Structure 1
């Protein structure tokens, strides 16, 4: 079964949300100290559970029920359902990830490079530098006592986040992300959680007998501007201004849905990101009325799929 681009973007978005949850586990105490401590112990707990997750971000509205399995160290399996139908499965280990649909015969495989891990460490450092982390109260989530923490940017007009952390196990039980206007954009929470279940390693391996398709290294490799310009066939233009607190993640090669190579410039501030896509002036497939100017930008933790060409001129 093939999914609409909106659905695929949704699945990728939720994956990135759960990865952020792993990077922000915490326990009682002062907010920033809680976060610092738990960043050092991520991925070191066994659990299974069921979650509900939803996006209110137009045009990416969606909702899913998700079965979650975590096994230390750093093994994650997430199963996404539409109603009672299993639609997509993501498996992530310390240095590998797999994505597949039960209805298809293809497994998309990706190796997580040392560069990616270095970027994640930089994001954690930036998060503590650019954001205030404050305890705001306590609530009960999935029958567990949770500490409520607000992560707000030190700069005005930026997105923010609230997280609910299990006081006994350091696991985030609920997460809400808001845009710069204070509107709820993303919601994820546990409906049920079971700690220390028996989890066989087979659950964290791809199914046998399917075609393994390696995600292109070009989609994850960071180029210099000069190298990327040669690959895409035009001079990549760097932005003259970035909001305060953002730094470069990398310059990447992105293949548009129409098959045309584009330049992808990505910047982050620890919690949010800005992506700038640049393509050739005359795309042979995307029509004139689908062009939206020199840069096409998206803010937030979004997947890089479903984009059309962003012309250079």
Structure 2
């Protein structure tokens, strides 16, 4: 039963910047904790979030989350920023909008198995960065290589200074044709902040070639990460969903499962946004806008 899995969610592993950019970072930085009551559930978390279980003393979190999510759909709006390196690689430059729409649809397909609530990934907006904007955001460490972490920090600051129409995007993704790196590791294709959707840290950097959709899996991975999914093989569900199984949230998702999320990813995402589900209307609306606010995290 899912309840057996929920009980073991004890902590979330992030680095000192609030990031969980790669499975190899699982033992670095700060480790927070989730409080349990004497019955072994997450009532304390609900209380801290100001959430009541239907006004009753019911603390069956599993039943409540499924009940709250029944018939609901979470619409996650993607706003794409694109740099010059992406433009140079884009096969059909006059059809950039079509490429982004297809790219978004390909990301959405990775989420199709998620239910209660359903997760719909939608294309909200796009922006070609000027050279001045690029220099403000991107940290190029050497020819063809982009420092993922430092760029992520600057991207978050850039987004925070933009008009409300951009600020209220659920997720802002910088698409780049450069090789995204995490420290000395150049094998990563994307970085993002853990559970940053709807907050000032709702940003991700994704590497794509503008023609083969090679960055789709990385984008799906980072969107899920922003929605609260940890990487398979890392805390808090390291033993339940090892990275070797090859799901989307694995370091090298190269098996037949690489287009799917593991049960652990589904659980973590539901925990991240599940407490807000009762506030989300059934009519289409972006998740953050549906909540009527942007969560002001520090």
Higher RCO by CA contacts (8 Å cutoff, separation 6 or greater): 2
Structure 2 length as normaliser, TM-score? 0.28
Larger Rg: 1
* Structure with the larger helix share: 2
Structure 1 length as normaliser, TM-score? 0.27
* Structure with the larger strand share: 1
